[in-house]
Amino acid sequence: MNLFDIVGPVMVGPSSSHTAGAVRIGLVSRKLLGEEIKEAQILFHGSFLATGKGHGTDRAIVAGLLNMSVDDARIPESFKYAEDAGMKVTFGSIDLGEDAHPNSVRLILTGESERKLEITASSVGGGRIMINQLDGLTTNFSGDYPTLIVHNLDQPGHIAEVTSMLQHKSVNVATMQLYRSHRGGSAVMVLECDQPVPEEGIQWLKNLEGIVKVTYYSGTNGGQK
């Protein structure tokens, strides 16, 4: 346990889970999309749906999507800033099932280039978050570390290609998660790293046969590639 766990984040309130965590979900989602957001559909689940409006969760999510941090004084006015930026925002509800964290949300984002991204995330307490799904595939990462997300065909050799590249670039893997839709179908690797992943390594992966998409999130203080 560290000081952050005890006192919580420096933030605009009232709630670390419903406000600070929601800002971080929006911020990480924006960075994962990798461009300005033209349209955002925000679907709340559980406690986020029941009490989120009173805690300002809706405004907090939008603030994060606008690249505001958890201590930004503009958070209560985020709807105005979204309108000024030309971001179309709609809200709704969703039932993510009984296994989902009560503070969960699904974001369906469209960027300026028409790039789309669907993210399911949860605020797990003290301003901490978990990205649970990307485009329908399980991920489960915190957004605190440089994170490499590789969508690939479920074929032999792709795990070795990714880990060999990281070894060559002297990047240590902190955690690694593997998921697939079914045998021989779509698969995803989620690797949280101790060091940033160099751009040339990311580009090398993108050009490999059988690699569908590579997303790199450089951590709490960085962006996405």
Q: Could you read off the pLDDT of 3-53 as tens digits, one per residue?
A: 344 334 444 444 556 688 999 999 999 988 888 999 999 999 999 999 877
24: Cβ contacts below 8 Å, ≥ 6 apart: 64, 70, 123, 127, 128, 129, 143
pLDDT-derived band at 220, boundaries 50, 70, 90: low
CA atoms within 13 A on the CB side of 198: 10
What φ, ψ does residue 210 adopt, rounded to 5°? 95, -10
Q: Could you read off the pLDDT of 76-110 as tens digits, one per residue?
A: 999 999 999 999 999 999 999 999 999 999 999 99
Give the model's pLDDT for residue 18.
64
- 65-86: average pLDDT: 94
What residues does 92 pair with on adjacent strands? Answer: 43
What residues does 44 pair with on adjacent strands? Answer: 93, 105
- 154-183: average pLDDT: 94
User: Which domains does the chain carry?
Assistant: 3-135 (3.30.1330.90), 147-217 (3.30.70.260)
Distances, alpha carbon 128 to alpha carbons 29, 38, 84, 165, 208, in Å: 14, 26, 29, 30, 34
- CA–CA gap between residue 105 and residue 114 (Å, rounded): 22
Give the model's pLDDT for residue 13.
45
Give the model's pLDDT for residue 26.
95
- 210-221: average pLDDT: 82
